[in-house]
Amino acid sequence: MRAGQVGGVILLGNGWTSPAVTADAIRRMQAAACVHGTGVLVGVDQEGGTVHRLRWAPPSLAASQMTTAGVARSQAAAAAHAIAAAGVRVDFAPVADVVTSPASFEGTRSFGRDPARVATLVAAFVHGLQAAGVAATLKHFPGLGSASASTDDRAVTISRGRAFLTARLAPFRAGIGAGAGLVMVASASYPALDPTGAPALVSRPIVDDLLRGTLGFGGVVVTDALDTPALRSQPDIPGRAIAAGVDLLLYSHEAPAEAGYAQLLRDAKASADIRGDLAASAARVAALKAWLAAHGAPLCG
Report d(CA 240, CA 187) in Å as an integer.
13
What are the DSSP calls for 120-143, one per residue?
HHHHHHHHHHHHTT-EEEEEEET-
Rounded CA-CA distance 68/6 in Å is 38
Please indicate, yes or no, if residue 249 is contained in any of the structural domains.
yes
Q: What angle do CA 265, 30, 294 make, to 5 degrees?
A: 100
Does residue 197 belong to any structural domain of this protein? yes
Beta bridge partner(s), residue 182: 137, 220
Per the domain annotation, does 21 fall within a domain?
no
> Residue 5 in contact with residue 261, Cβ under 8 Å?
yes
The string of pLDDT tens digits covering residues 39-67 is 899 999 999 999 999 999 999 999 999 99
pLDDT at 298: 75
Single pTM value for the model: 0.96
Within a domain: 13: no
Looking at residue 229, its pLDDT comes to: 83
pLDDT of residue 290: 93
Q: How many domains does the chain contain in total?
A: 1
- Residue 20, domain member (yes or no): no
Phi-psi region of 179 (alpha: psi -120 to 50; beta: other; left: phi over 0): left
16 lies in some domain: no
Domain-located, residue 199: yes
The residue range of the domain holding 58 is: 45-294
| Amino acid sitting at position 45 | D
92/135 Cα distance (integer angstroms): 8
Inside any domain, residue 7: no
Residues of the chain with pLDDT under 50: none
Residue type, 156: V
* Per-residue model confidence (pLDDT) at position 146: 83
Q: Tell me the CATH number at 248.
A: 3.20.20.300
**Which residues on neighbouring strands pair with residue 9, listed in sequence order?**
42
How much of the chain is helix, strand and coil, in % rounded to 5? 45, 10, 45
**What amino acid is encoded at 131 in this protein?**
A
pLDDT digits (tens, 9 = 90+) for 77-122: 999 999 999 999 999 999 999 998 777 888 899 999 999 999 999 9
- What's the pLDDT score for residue 301? 61
Q: How far apart are CA 159 and CA 23, in angstroms?
A: 43
